[in-house]
Amino acid sequence: MVRQKIFDHVDEYATAFIARSPLVLLATSDREGRLDVSPKGDAPGFVAIQDERTLLLPDRPGNKLTYGFRNILENRE
């Protein structure tokens, strides 16, 4: 039953939810597997959905920590 709740893409329900959300949580990991979760927020609609596997998050001023971006560059899997 749990496996039915795991998706490798953004479906129509997730698309509607993301379009209305003022907040997303970006989870990444570094090469050693250490996790980082970074909140990203703005007015609803700030996240663009390019396709079913690609979300576009704008760069916004924040706490000046770049763990998520660094992890994405280090660990592209």
CA-atom Rg of the chain in angstroms: 14
Whether pTM > 0.85 for this model: the answer is: no
Residue 72 has pLDDT above 80, yes or no: yes
Q: Give the C-alpha distances (Å, rounded to integers) separating 35 from 31, 40, 44, 54, 56.
A: 10, 16, 26, 20, 21
Average pLDDT over residues 47-67: 86
**pLDDT by residue (tens digit) across 5-55?**
888 999 999 999 999 999 999 899 998 999 999 888 999 999 999 999 999
Q: Which residue has the tokens 């479906």?
A: 11
Domain count, the chain: 1
Residue numbers of the domain that contains 39: 2-74
pLDDT score, position 59? 79
